[in-house]
Chains A and B, each alone.
Chain A
Amino acid sequence: MLDIRNLTVAVGDNKADGHKTILKDLSLNVEDGEVHVIFGPNGSGKTTLVQTLLGYPGYTIEEGTITFNGTDITTLSINERANLGLGVVFQYPPAVRGVKLNDMANLVSGHKGSDEIFDETAEYAKKLNMTEFLNRDVNHGFSGGEKKRAEVLQVLLQSPQMLLLDEPDSGVDVENVEIIGRMLNKFLQRDLKPMARKKSAIIITHLGYLLNFVKTDRAHVLCNGQFLCSGDSKEIYENILKNGFDKCENSCLYSVREEDANGCATKE
C-alpha cells in the first residue's frame, strides 16, 4: 500500500536557508492491512517523516520516492494525498478559530460547506464523548485528550486507507488512550483475519503506550534519520522499555545500522 524507497529529506527549502538533512536513505514498505509502529527518541526524525509523507511544505525530498497504492505521490500536494486516502492523527493539531469541529467532520465526509450534523458524525461523536464539541471551534480550548478524540473522530469519518498516527498517546490520560485504542482497533479491522484487513497504519510514538490497546504487526526504530532496526513490535517495545533506544538492536530481526552510524546508540 505504502512504499517508501531510499528517502532522503532535508528541512529548509534551499541550502542557504538553514538546510539540514534529517532523513537519510529511508525505506519502508507497509502492505495492505498492516499496522507498523515506528519508535524513536525525540529528534530522531519522526515528525519529519510524518510531515514528508503528508506533503507539508518546508521539507525537500533530495532523493527517493513515496508510492501510495501504485501512485507516485512524492510531489503531490497535501490535499491530493488526503484525497487518495492518506489520513493523519496529528500530535499537535492547531486550533482554527471560527471553524467548528463539525465543519471539519463535514469536510472529510464529503459534505464540504454544510452546517448540518450528519448521522454518522453524531454517532462517532457519541462514541468518542465528543457530541458537545461538534459546535465548538476545532481544538480551541480542548484538553490533550479532547484534541486526540477530535482527531480520531475526523479520521474515522474520512476513513482513509492508510492512517498516520503521530504520537497518538502523548499528553493523553489512560482513559482516553483506551477509548482511542478501542476505536482504532475497530477501524483498522484488527478483529478480522490478516488477509481480510484492508486498512493500514503507521503509528509513530516514543512512548508506545497505545500498543497496549492496538495490535501491531511490525516495529521499526528510527534514530538520527535512519531505521536502526525492524522486527516484532512486542519484543522491540519491551527491549526499549528495559534498555532504552540504544540497545534495542539486540531484539531486532535484522539491523540496518551502518558501521559509522552515530544514531542514538551510546558508544561503548
Chain B
Amino acid sequence: MLDLNPGDFEIQDADAHEQVDSVGELSEEMKEKLTRIGLTLADESGAGTYLQRDQTASLCHQKSANVEVIPIKQAMATYDWVQGYYWNVIKPDTDKFTQDAADQDASIQGYFIHGLPGQIERLPVQTCLYVESRNTRQIVHNVIIAEEGSEINIITGCVAHGGIGRAMHEGISEFYVKKNAKITFTMIHEWQEQMEVRPRTAIMLEDNASFINNYIVLKPVNTIQTNPIAYLNGDNSRVMFQTIVYGRQDSKMDLGTRAMLVGKNTSAEIISRIITADNANIVARGLIAGQGTGCKGHLECRGLLLSNTSRIDSIPELDAKNPDVSITHEAAVGKISQDEINYLMARGATEDEATAMIINGFLSFDLSELPPEIAADTKKLVDKTMKGL
C-alpha cells in the first residue's frame, strides 16, 4: 500500500524559486497559505523564520539572539562541527528514502536551528516546507540542536501547493536535546490529495532533557509513512508525543512513534487521537522500550470511525528489559457513542452540533507544555482548520 519509488519524482533546482529577504515580498497566495497553516510568518513576530519552496531556501531570517536559524548547507559551510550532527542519529542506510536523501545530498536543503547554551527563547521559530511543483520530490534535511540549558519552540507547517497533483516529500530531521534543554516541536501537515510523504525523524536526549512533539494532520493526503524514534539516553529525560489525525477521502497513513527509554528514570508519553471518514485507512503504531531503571512509559491510542469504509489499526508495543520499569498502554477504537450524542442533545444541541462537539473535543489536545502564546496560536490554528472540515 505504501510502496513508492522516489526516482519517479523529479528534484527541482535550488534556484527554481526566488529568494526573498522578507515575507512582504512573497505572493499573496503564498502568504495566505502560510497564514492558514498558522504560521504568523506574515508579521515576522517569531524568533526566526525559514521557508523552503521545493529545493529553494526561499526565506530565512532570525530575530532572536538566543537561537540561530540558517539553511543547513550554509550552517555546514560556516561551522565544521555541524557535520558531526548530520547523518548522525539517523543513518543513510535506514531505508530507501533515507538512502535516497543521502544519495541526493548535493541537491538537498533544509534548516539548521540552534538554541544557544543557557538561552531560553519562548517565541516560536517558524518554518515552512512548501511543495510547489508538479511531480516534484522535495528532499529536506534538518538539524535541530538545543544546547545545554536552552529552550527552543518550533512551529512547522508542511504544505503542498493547491492542485499540485502527484508529488513527494522526503524529510530527514535530526534533533539533539542536550543536558537540561527543552524543545517543543509542533508540526502541522497540510498536504494535498495526491501527496506522498515520508518524514524520517530521530531525537537524541541527554540528562534532564525534554522533547515535546505535537503532530497534526487534518487534510487529505495520498500516503504518509513515518515512525519517529526518540533515544532517551540521558537520565531523567522525557518525551511527550501527541498525534492528532483526521483521515479523510482515500488517505492512507502509517504513523508510529518509538521511545527507547535507556537512561535512568526516563519517561515517555505517546498519545494519539485518530478520526477516519470516507475511505481513510490509518495504522497507528507505538513502541515504548523500557531499559533504564525507574523508567516510565504510557501509550494511548483512541480512534473514532465515522464511516463504514474507513479503518483504524492500532498496534501498540511495549518492550520491558528491566524489572524496574513501568510501561502501560490503552487503546479504544470505535464509532461515536450514541449515548454521548443523546446526552448533548438533551442539553439542547442538535444532532449535528452534538457530533461536531464530540469530534472537536476528541481532537483537542494538551497544550500545557507550550509557551502560552504558542499554545494560543496553535489552538487558533487547529480551530480554524477544524472549521473547514
> Nearest-CB distance from B205 to chain A (Å)?
29
Q: Is A88 an interface residue (CB 8 A)?
A: yes
Are A94 and B347 touching (Cβ within 8 A)?
no
Are B348 and A82 touching (Cβ within 8 A)?
yes
Q: Is B346 an interface residue (CB 8 A)?
A: yes
Query: A84 vs B302: C-alpha distance in the bound complex, in angstroms?
Result: 36
Query: A168 vs B361: C-alpha distance in the bound complex, in angstroms?
Result: 27
Are A57 and B338 touching (Cβ within 8 A)?
yes
> Nearest-CB distance from B27 to chain A (Å)?
34
By a CB distance below 8 angstroms, the chain A residues around B340 are: 94, 96
By a CB distance below 8 angstroms, the chain A residues around B361 are: 96-100, 103, 137
Are A103 and B357 touching (Cβ within 8 A)?
yes
> Nearest-CB distance from B315 to chain A (Å)?
22
Are B346 and A54 touching (Cβ within 8 A)?
yes
- In the complex, per-residue mask of A144-157: 1 if CB is within 8 Å of any chain B CB, else 0: 00000000001000
List B residues 333-375 near A (Cβ within 8 Å): 337-340, 342-351, 353-354, 357-358, 360-364
Q: Is A93 an interface residue (CB 8 A)?
A: yes
Are A96 and B348 touching (Cβ within 8 A)?
no
Q: Is A56 an interface residue (CB 8 A)?
A: yes
Residue of B nearest to A58 (CB): B338
Q: Is A52 an interface residue (CB 8 A)?
A: no
Residue of B nearest to A88 (CB): B346
Are B339 and A108 touching (Cβ within 8 A)?
no
Q: A57-B338, A78-B342, A96-B358 are in contact. Are A154 and B364 (CB under 8 A)?
A: no
Q: Which of B339, B350, B357 contacts A99 (CB 8 A)?
A: B357
Are B348 and A98 touching (Cβ within 8 A)?
no
Q: Is A1 an interface residue (CB 8 A)?
A: no
Q: Which of A77, A97, A98, A158 contacts B347 (CB 8 A)?
A: A158
By a CB distance below 8 angstroms, the chain A residues around B351 are: 77, 79
Query: A78 vs B361: C-alpha distance in the bound complex, in angstroms?
Result: 21
Q: A56-B342, A57-B342, A112-B353 are in contact. Are A82 and B358 (CB under 8 A)?
A: no
Q: A94-B339, A96-B340, A103-B357 are in contact. Are A78 and B346 (CB under 8 A)?
A: yes
Residue of B nearest to A93 (CB): B343
By a CB distance below 8 angstroms, the chain A residues around B345 are: 77-79, 82
> Nearest-CB distance from B383 to chain A (Å)?
10
Q: Which of A54, A93, A98, A104 contacts B360 (CB 8 A)?
A: A98
List A residues 57-92 near B (Cβ within 8 Å): 57, 77-79, 82-83, 88, 90
> Nearest-CB distance from B195 to chain A (Å)?
28
By a CB distance below 8 angstroms, the chain A residues around B344 are: 96, 99, 104, 107
> Nearest-CB distance from A184 to chain B (Å)?
18
Query: A167 vs B92: C-alpha distance in the bound complex, in angstroms?
Result: 64
Query: A79 vs B350: C-alpha distance in the bound complex, in angstroms?
Result: 6
Query: A154 vs B350: C-alpha distance in the bound complex, in angstroms?
Result: 17
Residue of B nearest to A104 (CB): B347
By a CB distance below 8 angstroms, the chain A residues around B343 are: 90, 93-94, 96
Are B362 and A83 touching (Cβ within 8 A)?
no
Query: A77 vs B351: C-alpha distance in the bound complex, in angstroms?
Result: 9
Are B360 and A158 touching (Cβ within 8 A)?
no
> Nearest-CB distance from A6 to chain B (Å)?
25
Query: A83 vs B344: C-alpha distance in the bound complex, in angstroms?
Result: 12
Query: A108 vs B349: C-alpha distance in the bound complex, in angstroms?
Result: 8
Query: A192 vs B228: C-alpha distance in the bound complex, in angstroms?
Result: 66
Residue of B nearest to A139 (CB): B343
List A residues 106-133 near B (Cβ within 8 Å): 107-108, 112
Residue of B nearest to A154 (CB): B347
List A residues 228-261 near B (Cβ within 8 Å): none
Query: A137 vs B360: C-alpha distance in the bound complex, in angstroms?
Result: 12
Residue of B nearest to A103 (CB): B357
Are B338 and A108 touching (Cβ within 8 A)?
no
11 contacts between A and B (CB under 8 A): A79-B349, A82-B348, A90-B346, A96-B344, A98-B360, A99-B344, A100-B361, A103-B361, A104-B347, A107-B349, A108-B347
Q: For the complex of A and B, list the 5 residue pairs with the smallest distance between their C-beta atoms, beginning with the closest.
A: A98-B361, A78-B345, A99-B361, A82-B348, A79-B345
Knowing that A78-B342, A79-B348, A98-B362 touch, tell me 18 more A-B residue pairs with CB under 8 angstroms.
Answer: A54-B346, A57-B338, A57-B342, A77-B345, A78-B346, A79-B350, A79-B351, A79-B354, A82-B346, A83-B348, A88-B346, A94-B343, A98-B361, A99-B344, A103-B357, A103-B361, A104-B344, A112-B349
